[in-house]
Amino acid sequence: MSSKLYFLIIFFSIGFLVILTGCIIPEGIQDSIPPENTTALIIGIALNNTTVQSYLTEPWTIADVNMNATTTIAGGGEEIFLKTPDVIIDSRSRSLHVYVDPGNRTVISIWDSPKRVPYP
């Protein structure tokens, strides 16, 4: 066989292997929630919770959505520290912190912080 034939066989073998590995190796796991919709999803989860709705008896606004909040949950003799989004709902008499798990689409914890009303 000639050297040109060996060169062609090696060239096409390498090309085939490169294409094959490019098709087999995954490009990474894509998040099912696009980043621009994450905040809207978290707010929706918080506002659709019936316990949160029971706190919203007066006019309210969403003050902030903190994507890097931490909360502590005590249970079974242990304290669990979670890094989870926090929806802060502000009303005249309270600030309500709603900690959300966007993966499970549930509310993890609710922290009601009454505002101090000055005496007249």
Pick the more confident residue, 70 or 34: 70
Rounded CA-CA distance 20/116 in Å is: 66
The model carries a pTM of 0.65
**Band (37; pLDDT cuts 50, 70, 90):** confident
The secondary structure of residue 77, as a DSSP letter, is T
Q: What pLDDT, in 10s, does the model give residues 90-101?
A: 998 889 999 999
Rounded CA-CA distance 97/46 in Å is: 10
Residues 6+ apart with CB under 8 A from 73: 79, 80, 82, 108, 109
The answer as to whether 51 is a domain residue is: yes
| Residue 106: domain span | 35-114
Contact between residue 85 and residue 102 where contact means Cβ atoms under 8 Å apart: yes
Rounded CA-CA distance 111/113 in Å is: 6
Domain of 65, CATH number, reads 3.10.450
